[in-house]
Amino acid sequence: MNYVKESAKGIEKVSIDEILFASREVFLTEPVNVDSSNELIKQLMVLEKLNPDEEVTLYINSPGGEVVSGMAVYDYLRMMKAPVKTVCTGTAASMGAVLFLAGDKREMLPHTKLMIHDPAYGGGDMAGKKPHELQQYVNNLKKTQEIIVDVISERTGKSKKEVQKTTREDSYFDATEAIEYGLATGIVAETNKTLGNDQLVLG
């Protein structure tokens, strides 16, 4: 969808994404994979270069996905000089919840949910694998589990033992529960954003 923007420069069409990006707002609304993570990192890099001191807001409504791709985004978010706010706009699950934890401020809309759990077998044919090959896969899965537990423990203040107990199963949190656990820092109560002095109409 495009909007017609009326300003001192005249009339021009701009996309919703352009308007939001200009306000330093970016989105993850799909599974975490190589493509979505690369696109998100590129957007974050541009915003960091434009102004390393102004807050960036990342809105998340994602079922999660690939750990390696997701941790690349998490690492970049944590390295940014610009303050980062994450907002859950639906369900931030699995790696989506881990990315939510990267925010300095972590807010949820009143009726949204977070879900955290241990990493699981990602598919593929295990038939014909030798015992040492199966063991190597299990060892890698355990290392991934440790990474996820470390992140959740660090960001929530919970002990690793507490986190391990929680992530053993799919654990869902509403906004209030997420704040109590330390996953979220607040609930979005109202929106006071303005689009500036330029006038926008549906195009």
User: Out of 117, 153, 159, 171, which one is annotated catalytic?
Assistant: 117
Q: Is residue 11 part of a domain?
A: no
Q: Is residue 2 part of a domain?
A: no
Q: Is residue 119 part of a domain?
A: yes
pLDDT computed for residue 129 by the predictor = 75
Q: Is residue 135 part of a domain?
A: yes
> Is 132 labeled as catalytic in the residue annotation?
no
pLDDT computed for residue 103 by the predictor = 98
Counting the structural domains of the chain, the total is 1
Residue 127 CA to residue 111 CA, distance in Å, equals: 43
Q: Is residue 63 part of a domain?
A: yes
pLDDT computed for residue 138 by the predictor = 84
Domain coverage including residue 183: 23-190
Residue 178 CA to residue 147 CA, distance in Å, equals: 20
* Top-confidence residue, 119 or 167: 167
Q: Is residue 90 part of a domain?
A: yes
Q: Is residue 170 part of a domain?
A: yes
Q: Compute the average pLDDT of residues 179-192.
A: 87
Query: Is residue 21 exposed (0-12), middle (13-18) or buried (19+ Cβ within 10 Å)?
Result: middle
Residue 193 CA to residue 203 CA, distance in Å, equals: 21
CATH of the domain at 85: 3.90.226.10
pLDDT computed for residue 202 by the predictor = 40
CB atoms within 10 A of CB 130: 8
User: Out of 94, 153, 159, 171, which one is annotated catalytic?
Assistant: 94
- Residues β-bridged to residue 96: none
SS3 state of residue 186: strand
What's this model's pTM, rounded to 2 decimal places? 0.86
